[in-house]
Each structure stands twice: as C-alpha cells, then as structure tokens.
Homo-oligomer: A and B are copies of this chain.
Amino acid sequence: MSYESDEQNLISLNRFGSFAIMLGKVDLTKTADESTFDKTLTSLQERLGILQRAFRDQNIPTIIVIEGWNAAGITMAVHEIVQALDPRGFALHAIERASEEERARPFLWRFWLRTPPQGRIALFARSWYSRAISEEMQKHTWQKSLKGPEDQINRFERQLHDNGTVILKFFLHISKEEQKLRLEERERNPLTAWLVTPSIWNVHRHYDDSFPLINDFINKTNTDYAPWTVVEATDRKYTILKIYSTIVKNLEKVVEAAKDTKSRKSRQKEPAKSKKNPVERRSKPYNEYTREECQQTLNNLQIEMLELHYLLFKRKIPLMIAYEGWDAAGKGGNITRLTRFMNPLGYYVVPISAPTSHESQYHYLRRFIKHFPPGGDIAIFDRSWYGRVLVERVEGFCSEPEWQRAYQEINEMEEDFIYSSGGGIVKFWLEISKDEQLKRFQQRANDPLKIYKITEDDWRNRDKWDHYEEAVDEMLARTSTDVAPWTVIESDEKWYARVKAIKTVIKTAQNLL
C-alpha cells in the first residue's frame, strides 16, 4: 500500500465520497418522534443566526473546525451547521489534498489564505489537523523541521486569536467498533459500497495505533485560545445538538465579553521588554572597496546572481528578500541592479503600500504570506511586513500592544517559512544620513524626470525622523534572528550599496545550496 492511498484514506474527505454518504442516508425526511429534537434545533439555529449578525456588526472573525474519524459524520455535521448560517457571512472550506501550487509553499500557507475576514465565519470540513496527522504518519515532511506541526499550529491559532479571531474545534469521536459497524453499513448500501476500499479497512485495523497519536495531538493543541470539543458522535441527533450548543454558548460568551470593553483590553498581553540594539546603523561605507572596484565588479556579480538563481530554481529552494530603508535611500535602484540579469520568469517584485480596505479585514500578516514564493522563486519585497513596527507604529495606525506583539509574530512567521520551505530570507535596511536624504529630496524636486518620486508624505516622514530612528533601532534589535538576520546597507554611496546588497544575496543563496 502506497503512502498516497494511505493519506487519502486515513483521514478521508473526498467530495465524491461525501455525496455518496449523503445519498446513502435514509433519514433525510422527518419522522414524528423528532419533534422535540426539531424544536431544540430550531431554537439553536435562530440563536446562531442572531450571533452571526452580531459578530458581523462587531467585525469579529470566526473559525469553526470539524475533524473526526473516518465515517464519524463530518459531512453531515457540516451540512447541518450550514443550514443556520446566512450565506453572505460564511465560507465553507472542504480540505482535500493540497494543489500543486499549495504543495510548493509552506504547510500553513493555504490555511492562512482561507482565514476569514472581519465579521465572517470560515467553516472547515477537515483542516490543518488532518493534513498534519496524515503528514506526521507519512513522516517525511516534518523530519527536517525543528518544530513539530503542533507548535506551528499553536502559533498560527494564537496569532489569529490575538488579532481577534474566535476559534472553535470539534473532533467527532467514534469507537473502533462503531466505525466497523458504519463501514459495514456503507458496504451493504450500493451507493456507498465503493467508498469502503481495502485501504480504508486497513486504516480501520490500525485504529488502535493511531488513537494515541491523535489523542496526543488533540491534547497538545487544546489551548485557551482555540479549544477542542470532543463529541461522542455515535448518535446523529446528539452530535448535532452538541455542536450547535457548544458554538452558540461560546459565541454568546464572546458577545458578552465584547460589550465590556475593559475585559477586552485586559486580554492584551504586557509588551515584552525591549532589548538593546545589537545592530549598528551606518550610512557611510567602510573603506573595503573603491568606487572603481565596485563598478567593475557589479557586472560579474549580476551574472553570478543569474547562475545562482538558476541553481535555486533547479533545486526548488525559495528565497525572500525584504527591502526596508529611509525614503530616498535607493531601494528601487538597488532592486533594479540586483535583478539586472535575473530571469524575470523566476522572480517577482512585491511593492508594498498601505493595505487596501479588503486586506485590512484580515490578520495583518496575511497579505504578505499570500506572496510567499513557491520553491525556486525569488520574491523581492519593496517594503515589507516590517511596516507594522515602522510606519504603523509611528503613525499610530495600530495600537501599541499590536506592534509590540508584532516582533514575536514576525519572528515566528519568518522561522516557520524557513523551516517548512527550506528557503532563506534576506532583510536589508538601507541606511542614509539625514543630510544625504535632504540632498536627494532636493535633487528629485528639481529633476522633471524624478519629481514624481517625491511627495508631501516624504517631507512629513522626514519631520518624524527621530521617531522613526527609535522604531528602526527597536526593529533591528528585536527581529534580527539567527535564521533571518538583518543586513544594514550603508547607502550614502549608491555604488557601494548595490554591490553590498547583491553580495549579501549571493552569500545567502550559496548557503542554501
């Protein structure tokens, strides 16, 4: 039996199967003795409808995860929950095998993209848990990772929670005996018999082996911010009422808590203490190379970069390069020189400006994660996720607890990217002196070909130079990690800055090969 079929069937949710299961059910029409059940259910559905509107009005995003054993009734549970929800306010995500595009990126990438915007519900029929368990059993994706999937998952859920997302997770539990009965029942029904393959039976026989793994996984990921509810899913009516009442109870608690703004604030963590800045900012280059040496060497470095780019592509290693720096520090020109001979089909530049109204409805990291490069590609960010602790901090676009929290969130995001993709991250801070910036602003203002580059914003930012310096120093201190260190590019001399940047990228790329 191949891994392929293992993965398919251990945690199976394929849409063909789910159709067959629904067709195979005979209890779609009501019987008389169901009237109490119906009344309770209707009441819960109404309350859930009201809650959905309250969450929409309060801009709270919600994630509901339905997991469980094969044949435990995930499709039926999802079908029932959907009945109570306004289609304008939720999205259903049936998690099957990852697409080619998704497989080329870190494990959680596709789930980040499926997180709900403010005021909406994302309902997951299977989730990152099934993916992680399948992959854990296959034992090939996680081998080289220092962190197990549960740590990555806990970080993911904690980050979403910290930014206001409510997360509820259900595991539909049936015993091995019950699973056997259900598989046999499916085998007897011609509509569903084909679902019960020998491989499904094989997985069933390993129920006792996988039990401790799943149990351990649930315990490790059962957190305050994203609790599990294990549902004894033997009886269909009990299962439905249990899920509904748990959802309603928890969401009502959130609505209550939200009314009391004080309690909301107290959820914010204390900001961590700032470390001393270990990264020196200089705007003048050391006298390593002369101007002539730099100009002579640039062309060769560009060709070397082209060749390295090919090797990264060939070995499917992704690379991210983040450019940050003062206005007029020369980011654009530096990027142009770096990419001069690079194959345009293998890299892309992601220019970052203020988030759109659509982007603002999600966790602030999502719009960057969306542009994570697939294996072999180079993504160059012209400004980056560090905007959170620079412009957003200085201009007050986010609260202090938010930007304080961002240092850790960013470090985790970068670490997760590197560990799960095997790729690298280069981070440049382009430093120029305040005098040099003034000179360049004036040059731009006087050159009709460059005047478009200078705006009122640039002058305004310049007035806040000291505030930005404080933010930059703290950023360099708190996010220069072993796996993703900052490189300060002394940029008063552009010829030097360009050579240093490309050399740094080359060195990082060589270390990845």
Contact = CB atoms under 8 A, between A and B. Distances in A.
Interface of A: 15-16, 18-20, 22-23, 28-29, 46, 50, 53, 75, 78-79, 82-83, 86-88, 92, 94, 99-101, 125, 299, 303, 306-307, 309-310, 313-314, 332, 335-336, 340-341, 343-346, 348-349, 351, 356-358, 382, 449, 452
Given A18-B345, A20-B310, A75-B345, 7 more contacts: A15-B346, A22-B306, A23-B306, A29-B299, A78-B345, A87-B349, A94-B345
A82 B332 CA distance: 14
Given A19-B309, A19-B313, A23-B307, A88 B382 contact: yes
A92 B348 contact: yes
Contacts of A452: 53
A18 B53 contact: no
Contacts of A94: 345
A15 B375 CA distance: 13
B310 A23 contact: yes
A87 B351 contact: yes
Contacts of A313: 15-16, 19
Nearest to A18: B345
Contact of A16 (B15, B314, B335): B314
Nearest to A350: B87
4 nearest A-B residue pairs (beta carbon): A87-B349, A88-B351, A19-B310, A94-B345
Contacts of A349: 87
A28 B303 contact: yes
Nearest to A344: B82
Q: Secondary structure at chain A's binding surface: helix, strand, loop or mixed?
A: helix
B92 A343 contact: no
Contacts of A99: 99-101
7 contacts: A18-B346, A19-B343, A29-B303, A78-B345, A87-B335, A100-B100, A125-B344
B87 A22 contact: no
A36 B28 CA distance: 79
Nearest to A356: B358
A88 B332 CA distance: 10
A19 B346 contact: yes
Nearest to A299: B29
B92 A344 contact: yes
Contact of A22 (B50, B314, B341, B449): B341
Contact of A87 (B18, B83, B310, B382): B382
A311 to B, nearest CB: 9
Contacts of A356: 357-358
A314 B19 CA distance: 9
Given A23-B310, A88-B351, A344 B100 contact: no
A238 to B, nearest CB: 21
A191 to B, nearest CB: 9
Contacts of A348: 92
Given A88-B382, A100-B99, A79 B343 contact: yes
A125 B344 CA distance: 10
A167 to B, nearest CB: 20
Contacts of A340: 83
A345 B87 contact: no
B344 A78 contact: yes
B19 A75 contact: no
A343 B449 contact: no
Contacts of A358: 356-358
Nearest to A339: B82
A291 B332 CA distance: 70
A168 B299 CA distance: 33
A242 to B, nearest CB: 19
B343 A75 contact: yes
A138 B457 CA distance: 56
Nearest to A92: B344
Nearest to A23: B310
Nearest to A336: B83
Given A16-B314, A99-B99, A358-B358, A345 B307 contact: no
Nearest to A57: B452
Nearest to A101: B99
B15 A345 contact: yes
A331 to B, nearest CB: 11
A58 to B, nearest CB: 14
